[in-house]
């Protein structure tokens, strides 16, 4: 679906992405891990066409992402920010309606889709709330609902559960897992693989890939289905000893002191 080739991004003569190749296949969930400053958010910015790389290119099913109009891009790529912020004074309903701008429909026509997406995240009662008054956890769920209403083929999620309480983390990740099972293609930056493996069944693993990014280069791309090898790769990536343990039939990754 996405083919990124030799992506290089520099800040002040410092390479934050260095000849990165990154492919995403339809129906898969790619989890990007790596230390702070590895270039993960920058990579998502390049994939969604927001940041133009100094070298290399990104294609969506063969078409350069840079050549797409805003509406064409919105049909293909949706993005969930690390800290969703709505600066304009708008209600949740208006936020979700805006996410459907490419459909050029009236708010009345959009309304059932907007309500359906809010129901999906169990937050229909927030419909008329001002977006900037939401708590972090509420904003994250509403942002996920907005992503749903956009109906993009590929979702890019930047630390979707960062700073959320355990119940909100579980709520978000269970919905992502359900979307994966429905065929949604996703790329997520996460720090805690544990949270994801907790909600996945082993039968989901064949669609899940883990990509390790460090100092602007891809260090590995591994299937979720081989937890011991993955734990070794994570140990190298983070410079800590990690071990895979099995809890109720599911692999979890723990840091060994
Ligand atoms: P990650 O998401 O993996 O933590 P980022 O992609 O946000 O990392 O950042 C990668 C590197 O690029 C970091 O060293 C960061 O300081 C640098 N960087 C990001 N944005 C800017 C910017 N606007 N100006 C200068 N350096 C930046
Ligand atoms: Mg980041």
> Taking residues 159-167, what's their average pLDDT?
87
> Taking residues 86-90, what's their average pLDDT?
84
The tokens describing 208, both together, are 């899940």
For residue range 175-231, list pLDDT tens digits in order. Answer: 999 999 999 999 999 988 888 988 999 899 999 999 999 999 999 999 888 899 999
CB-based contacts of 125: which residues, under 8 Å, 6+ apart? Answer: none
- Residue 13 Cα to ligand 1 middle (Å): 13
The tokens describing 225, both together, are 């289905």
pLDDT at position 162, please? 85
CB-based contacts of 40: which residues, under 8 Å, 6+ apart? Answer: 32, 33, 34, 158, 189, 213
Q: Name the residue of 8, 11, 53 whose CB sits within 8 Å of the most ligand 1 atoms, as the mutation to test its pocket.
A: 11
Average pLDDT, the chain: 94
pLDDT at position 225, please? 83
Q: Positive or negative CA dihedral for 250, 119, 123, 208?
A: positive
pLDDT at position 136, please? 86
Pairing, β 14-24 against β 29-33: unpaired
The tokens describing 248, both together, are 């109720």
Give the confidence band of 26 by pLDDT, cuts at 50, 70, 90.
Answer: very high
For residue range 125-148, list pLDDT tens digits in order. Answer: 999 999 999 988 899 999 999 999
CB-based contacts of 221: which residues, under 8 Å, 6+ apart? Answer: 209, 210, 211, 212
Q: How many CB atoms lie within 10 A of CB 251?
A: 22
- Greater model confidence, 85 or 168: 168
Dist. CA 31–CA 188, nearest whole Å? 5
> Taking residues 145-159, what's their average pLDDT?
97
Cα distances (Å, whole numbers) of residue 226 to 141, 193, 204, 245, 254: 31, 13, 13, 12, 15
Atom of ligand 1 nearest to the CA of 9: 12
Dist. CA 156–CA 163, nearest whole Å? 18
Ligand 1 first shell, C-beta below 6 A: 11, 16, 34, 36-42
């Amino acid at each position: 679906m996405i083919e990124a080739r030799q992506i290089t991004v520099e800040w002040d003569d410092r390479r934050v992405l260095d000849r990165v190749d990154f492919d995403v296949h339809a129906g898969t969930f790619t989890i990007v891990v790596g230390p702070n400053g590895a270039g993960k958010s920058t990579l998502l910015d390049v994939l969604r066409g927001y940041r133009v790389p100094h070298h290399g290119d990104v294609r969506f099913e063969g078409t350069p992402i840079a050549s797409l109009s805003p509406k064409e891009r919105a049909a293909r790529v949706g993005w969930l920010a690390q800290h969703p912020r709505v600066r304009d004074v708008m209600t949740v309903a208006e936020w979700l309606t805006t996410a459907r701008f490419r459909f050029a429909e009236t708010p009345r026509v959009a309304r059932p889709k907007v309500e359906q997406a809010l129901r999906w995240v169990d937050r229909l009662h927030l419909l008329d709330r001002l977006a900037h008054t939401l708590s972090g956890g509420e904003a994250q769920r509403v942002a996920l609902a907005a992503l749903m209403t956009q109906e993009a083929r590929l979702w890019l999620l930047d630390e979707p559960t960062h700073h959320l309480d355990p119940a909100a983390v579980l709520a978000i990740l269970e919905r992502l897992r359900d979307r994966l099972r429905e065929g949604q293609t996703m790329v997520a930056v996460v720090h805690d693989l544990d949270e994801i493996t907790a909600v996945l069944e082993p039968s989901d693993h064949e669609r899940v890939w883990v990509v390790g990014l460090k100092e602007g280069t891809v260090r590995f791309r591994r299937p979720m289905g081989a937890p011991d090898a993955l734990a070794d790769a994570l140990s190298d990536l983070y410079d800590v000893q990690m071990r895979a343990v099995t809890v109720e039939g599911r692999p979890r990754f723990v840091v060994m002191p």
